């Protein structure tokens, strides 16, 4: 099955040897999105809420570039450097997704690229 890379200037460019997302058949696999401003490539200022919003905005931009929308996402992975901020991240996610919600895992990690406090990846299925 061919793999088609997905790319948009409305989300940060990849900072390594990977694609923003890859489509294989009707499934789109997203690389992790950290809270980088796509215009500057810099980490957004602010608390975990600001970082989560920027990362979800980036995810949304890639979903749209792939021909989908957040409602087409079936699974997300959330990565935080401080699990005590889970409630704030959960509240931000509720701003972006409606029921039925995607399946999800939330994992505390010791560090993320560029000093980010939050990262999200996803799987989207297009009908």
Tell which residue, 75, 51, 52, has the closest CA to residue 63: 75
Q: For residue 118, what pLDDT band results from cuts at 50, 70 and 90?
A: very high
Tell which residue, 101, 116, 98, has the closest CA to residue 33: 116
126 has a pLDDT exceeding 90? yes
pLDDT digits (tens, 9 = 90+) for 55-77: 999 999 999 999 999 999 999 99
- Give 32-74 as a 3 state SS string: EECCECCCCCCECCCCHHHHHHHHHHHHHHHHHHCCCCHHHEE
Predicted confidence at residue 15, as pLDDT, reads 82
Cis omega before residue 50 (within 30°)? no
123 has a pLDDT exceeding 90? yes
The token pair that represents 66 in the structure block: 């792939």
Cβ neighbours of 49 (radius 10 Å): 15
Average pLDDT value for residue range 69-87: 98
């Amino acid at each position: 099955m061919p793999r088609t890379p997905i790319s948009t200037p409305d989300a940060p460019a990849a900072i390594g040897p990977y694609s923003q997302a890859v489509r294989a058949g009707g499934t789109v696999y997203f690389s992790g999105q950290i809270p980088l401003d796509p215009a500057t490539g810099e980490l957004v200022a602010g608390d975990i809420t600001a970082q989560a919003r920027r990362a979800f905005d980036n995810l949304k931009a890639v979903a749209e570039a792939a021909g989908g929308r957040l409602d087409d996402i079936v699974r997300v992975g959330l990565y935080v450097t401080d699990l005590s901020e889970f409630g704030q991240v959960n509240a931000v996610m509720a701003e972006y997704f409606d029921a039925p919600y995607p399946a999800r895992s939330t994992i505390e990690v010791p560090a993320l690229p560029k000093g980010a406090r939050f990262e999200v990846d996803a799987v989207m299925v297009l009908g």
